[in-house]
Amino acid sequence: MNNKPKIGVYVCHCGINISHTVDVEAVAEFASQLPNVRVAREYSYMCSDPGQALIREDIKNEGLNRVVVASCSPRMHELTFRKTLAEAGLNPYYLEMANIREHCSWVHGDREKATAKAKRLVAAAAVKARLLEPLQEKEVDVEPASLIIGAGIAGIQAALDIAEAGFKVYLVEKTPSVGGRMSQLDKTFPTLDCSACILTPKMVDVASHPNIELLTYSQVEDVSGYVGNFDVKVRKKARYVDMDKCTGCGVCAQECRLTGRIPSEFDEGMGKRAAIYLPFPQAVPAKYTIDPERCLMLTRGKCGKSPKCVDACGTGAINFEQEDEIVEFKVGSIIVATGFDVFDASRKPEYGYNDYENVITGLELERLVSASGPTGGDILIGKGDDAYVPKDIAFIKCVGSRDKSVGNEYCSRVCCMYTAKLAHLLTEKIPDANVRVYYMDVRAFGKGFEEFYDRVRREGVRYIRGNPSEVFKRGDKLVVKAENTLTSTPVEDEVDLVVLAVGLEPRRDAREIIDILRLSQSGDRFYMEAHPKLAPVDTATDGVFLAGCAQGPKDIPDTVAQAKGAASSALVLLSSGKVKVQAQVSHINEDTCRGCGYCVEICPYSAIELVTVNQFGHEALVARVNDALCKGCGACVAGCFSGSAQQKSFMDGQILPQIAALGVMR
């Protein structure tokens, strides 16, 4: 084949996105004069069907063997045009894009200068196109299984969808039970469905589904490999209870010497549990777990004459000798559904969360309202005989959200509505309660939200616009100090209970999963999706998807929708059975490589290893890239001192002439 470059240049108007600042006709005319350019055309939408047909026709009729598309960012349409080339029988990597939209027309105003810049960008792209080499995409098999990290509603839903489609699912949950945050809620807005009633059946399904392997009280230790072929290592923490023998009768917990003395995580510390515990009555699996940090036997090695739980257990399920177990398996895709933590209200000391027992968070009130909560659903503040039913109740919204002072600029998206829901539940439970809500804005954007907000206001809940500056004690009462910004009047409101509508934050241990899966974080510290609009469940790591609040604050319907989206993305991979791996991989010149191993350490995908080669009788270390693992990020290229690492399609010999053609270098 005659490989003398014959380049076709296609300049896109992008409607008027490009053509309103760049004289596209002039750019095309200029391009047609460039060396090796056979044809240069402009068209209103190159990405459209007729636009692509134009390229295909020219490849056939003019014998083009390189294509330059001057349009938008390659992030947008590089794949589109690669496909066009492939359809016309040309290697798809003979494509070079000149970004004259994001890099030019969108950021410039002066038509003349923008046109001159577009010409340079096109000239540079044409120079690089001349130097491009054909690359082959490899295919690898996909392991027909999925790992889901986190068994809240997002993880549960995704697991059920994938399992129903006939693929194996490993559902890993850190705590002893599935259910997550949703299991802590009493009712769900705006329909006031009982949270447990709609969640529990799904929890049971997850446990009984033949395709789902449930790994509760377990944590992902390590993930290696690549899309389609991840090797996963999970640590099953010792429960000190034999899962097969435990019947979940609960006698052990009644007998435990520490019964009623350990704050229950499920009840946000308001209820008490024993050292051997079931997190909540509907927990799945309904098996007990011993808290290794509290159990006397495990912390001191002694529990009276003999541990009472052991004496009480009829099936001999308790085993203090149990050890952590490492489970290893292979999966083709991974869904991260690790959820959120609520904002720590003590970081806003002005609201007195640490100082007053009648300043509580929304999630704590949720437990108080719940029939399965520490008070059996009665709204009682304080302990024992001093407990009282609050009459004057103030909610403060946006605690830890939309607040730069605590580093959370984002809106947590659920607080407005859960406040409305809790306010409604309070007026229901305490008919003579006087409830007011201090707010900055009310964001009732979802289906049925505005109607619900309206209903709550009609029920007598007063909404006062103002962000309280302080909560302090005066006599028996708490005073909420604020300014009613609608009437510009200062307010000192005496109340019995202050509820802080705390926002949602990334998990405090979010970093662990980032390190294991090489995820990115967005500015709000939640896990970052691959594209905010077009790839909202994907991540920068192929084969890893996001669901639920791990990606950003969400309510339950959005979480379920995203979980189903993540499940279907995972299924696309699993059901196709094959996955194409990056062709623009890094390559190391073993003749110049010194084997220092910097690239091995730098590579975020563990794609490079040092191998021993024979160099004229001497053993020498050199680095070698595993093409299937390489994502073409180029980190090794930047880190290599001798320039031995080069990324295909972005080699020094291709980029430097391109830069030179921009006219910034000799």
What is the helix, strand, coil percentage profile of the chain, to 5? 30, 25, 40
The residue among 432 and 591 lying less far from other proteins, judged by its C-beta, is 591
Counting Cα atoms < 13 Å in the Cβ hemisphere of 216 gives 24
Could you tell me which residues are beta bridge partners of residue 325? 236
Taking the complex as a whole, the smallest distance from the CB of residue 70 to other proteins amounts, in Å, to 25
The residue among 451 and 601 lying less far from other proteins, judged by its C-beta, is 601
> What stretch of H or E contains 7?
strand 7-12
Taking the complex as a whole, the smallest distance from the CB of residue 518 to other proteins amounts, in Å, to 11
The residue among 511 and 531 lying less far from other proteins, judged by its C-beta, is 511
575 φψ region: left (φ > 0), alpha (ψ -120 to 50), beta (else): alpha
Collapsed DSSP state (helix, strand, coil) of residue 78: helix
Neighbours of 520 (CB within 10 A): 12
Residue 381: DSSP 8-state: B
The residue among 252 and 640 lying less far from other proteins, judged by its C-beta, is 640
Q: What are phi and psi of 523, to 5 degrees?
A: -55, -30
Neighbours of 19 (CB within 10 A): 18
Taking the complex as a whole, the smallest distance from the CB of residue 631 to other proteins amounts, in Å, to 17
Taking the complex as a whole, the smallest distance from the CB of residue 509 to other proteins amounts, in Å, to 12
Cα 519 from Cα 510, distance rounded (Å): 10
The residue among 293 and 619 lying less far from other proteins, judged by its C-beta, is 619
Count Cβ atoms within 10 A of the Cβ of residue 289 and give its class: 0-12 exposed, 13-18 middle, 19 or more buried.
buried
Binding site for other proteins (CB under 8 A): 511, 591-592, 594-602, 610, 615-619, 621, 639, 641-643, 652-653, 656
Cα 158 from Cα 453, distance rounded (Å): 30
The residue among 384 and 653 lying less far from other proteins, judged by its C-beta, is 653
Collapsed DSSP state (helix, strand, coil) of residue 368: helix
The residue among 109 and 653 lying less far from other proteins, judged by its C-beta, is 653
The residue among 389 and 655 lying less far from other proteins, judged by its C-beta, is 655
Taking the complex as a whole, the smallest distance from the CB of residue 622 to other proteins amounts, in Å, to 11
Name, in order, each residue with C-beta under 8 angstroms of 239's C-beta and a sequence gap of 6 or more. 176, 217, 287, 288, 289, 290, 322
Taking the complex as a whole, the smallest distance from the CB of residue 656 to other proteins amounts, in Å, to 5
Name, in order, each residue with C-beta under 8 angstroms of 389's C-beta and a sequence gap of 6 or more. 378, 379, 380, 381, 430
The residue among 501 and 635 lying less far from other proteins, judged by its C-beta, is 635
Taking the complex as a whole, the smallest distance from the CB of residue 547 to other proteins amounts, in Å, to 24
Taking the complex as a whole, the smallest distance from the CB of residue 601 to other proteins amounts, in Å, to 3
Name, in order, each residue with C-beta under 8 angstroms of 39's C-beta and a sequence gap of 6 or more. 8, 9, 32, 58, 62, 64
Taking the complex as a whole, the smallest distance from the CB of residue 170 to other proteins amounts, in Å, to 27
